[in-house]
Amino acid sequence: MIPDTAHWVVYCDGSAVPNPGRMGLGAVLVSPDGVTQHHISEATTFTGCNNEAELRALLAALQWLAQQVVAKSTTVRVISDSSVLVAQLGPHAVAPIARLAPLFDEARSALQQFAHIDLQWVPRHRNGAADTLARAALGLAPKTAVPQGQKVKRHKRR
């Protein structure tokens, strides 16, 4: 884990509508002084699943960051609500999703540019800014938060 000293923070998220479908990428990059330096909100020109969108959002953020800093001396904390992304890229990677294996390899290579990486999973409600950016790239409204302990009421169509 990265010590609580100076490090960049990357919040990333992706959306696919439908899943699989059009992909929207979202990321927020925060500098070591706590100031948001860059936002990414873009739609891809091809289709894929939500896991691919998550990966592509991370890759876009890492590419931007590598252009801004001296990567080998930079520590980065990646925050994602994708348990698949965190598990695949963590120190004890699980068996890859075969179709996405090349993208995971590309992400591992991009992460190796930096001095130290910490991957952290958070619940979706703690990654709201990146989620909003990913959805906005597809022309979708932000998801509404449901207070803990309450269920979402679903209505059947007749």
In tens, the pLDDT along 34-50 reads: 999 999 999 999 999 99
Q: Give me the helix-helix angle, 50-68 and 101-111, nearest 10°.
A: 20
Q: How large a percentage of the chain has pLDDT more than 70?
A: 87
Distance CA(32)–CA(30), nearest Å, equals 7
Report which of residues 72 and 144 the model is more confident about.
Answer: 72
pLDDT band at 150 (very low <50, low <70, confident <90, very high): very low
Tell me the three state secondary structure of residue 12: strand
In tens, the pLDDT along 103-149 reads: 999 999 999 999 999 999 999 999 999 999 999 999 999 986 655 55
Which CATH architecture describes the domain 8-137?
Answer: 2-Layer Sandwich (3.30)
Q: What are the structural domain ranges in the chain? A: 8-137
Report the pLDDT averaged over residues 79-101.
91
10-19, 86-95, 98-107: least confidently modelled range: 86-95
Residue 122 is predicted with a pLDDT of 97
